[in-house]
């Protein structure tokens, strides 16, 4: 069973000395580090470690924010480790999945991450309703003007032939021909 210490700094001007010292004192036997923003979910050092870490091993960090900045991403990583039988410890927060309380905290954190995702989704939906009520046109701008759309709808031939003639996807031709009259004008 190996205890790996993972360290991350955001820029080359920062160093991992403080993290390495704390992880070494806590018993980490092997160290892996990355120099990049915590917002980046794919990190070469962490990705390599996650691919070779085995059940019974421990991944240790100095602080949770070294693992990532998004709570949802951190929880997904910890949950994945737990399912794989890998222990996780964060020294600063005294978070340890080798104990029953630590495992319970993973569940509590997951609940709050889900709440955060649902709250963000709800706010986005409410914002879209308000924007639409205020006359904002939602979605991507139209790629075709009304005259071109009318020409496509009136063109003779198969969907494939019309698509080739106008240089557009077959799905666009099909959608324009299926569209009810009241939607064609908006």
14 and 57 together in one domain: yes
101 and 16 together in one domain: yes
pLDDT digits (tens, 9 = 90+) for 33-43: 998 876 666 78
Q: What is the span of the domain harbouring residue 179?
A: 146-184
Percent of the chain with pLDDT over 90: 31
SS3 130: helix
Q: Structural domain tally of the chain?
A: 2
Assess if residue 132 is contained within a domain.
no
Nearest C-alpha neighbor of 28 from the set 56, 59, 63: 59
Per annotation, catalytic residue among 10, 37, 90, 121:
10
Both tokens assigned to 105: 């905290």
> Does residue 184 carry a pLDDT above 90?
no
SS3 89: strand
Both tokens assigned to 181: 């009259």
The DSSP H or E segment spanning 180 is none
Assess if residue 118 is contained within a domain.
no
User: Are 32 and 49 a contacting pair, CB within 8 Å?
Assistant: yes
16 and 108 together in one domain: yes
CATH of the domain at 15: 3.40.50.1390
98 and 155 together in one domain: no
| Top-confidence residue, 125 or 67 | 125
Report the mean per-residue pLDDT for the chain. Answer: 85
Assess if residue 86 is contained within a domain.
yes
Query: What is each CA distance from 80 to 74, 83, 86, in whole angstroms?
Result: 10, 5, 9
Q: Active-site residue 70, yes or no?
A: no
pLDDT digits (tens, 9 = 90+) for 136-173: 888 877 777 788 888 888 888 898 998 899 888 888 88
């Amino acid at each position: 069973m190996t205890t790996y210490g993972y360290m991350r700094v955001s820029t080359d001007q920062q160093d991992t000395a403080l993290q390495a010292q704390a992880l070494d004192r806590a018993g980490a036997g092997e160290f892996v580090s990355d120099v990049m923003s915590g917002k980046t979910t794919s990190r070469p050092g962490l990705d390599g470690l996650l691919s070779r870490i085995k059940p019974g091993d421990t991944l240790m960090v100095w602080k949770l924010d070294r693992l990532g900045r998004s709570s949802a991403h951190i929880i997904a990583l910890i949950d994945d480790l737990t399912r794989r039988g890998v222990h996780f410890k964060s020294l600063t927060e005294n978070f340890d999945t080798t104990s029953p309380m630590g495992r319970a905290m993973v569940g509590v954190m997951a609940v709050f991450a889900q709440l955060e995702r649902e709250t963000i989704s709800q706010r986005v939906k409410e914002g879209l309703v308000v924007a639409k009520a205020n006359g904002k046109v939602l979605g991507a701008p139209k790629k075709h003007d009304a005259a071109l759309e009318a020409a496509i709808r009136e063109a003779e031939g198969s969907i494939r032939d019309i698509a080739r003639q106008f240089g557009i996807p077959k799905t666009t031709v099909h959608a324009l021909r299926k569209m009810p009259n009241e939607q064609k004008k908006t």
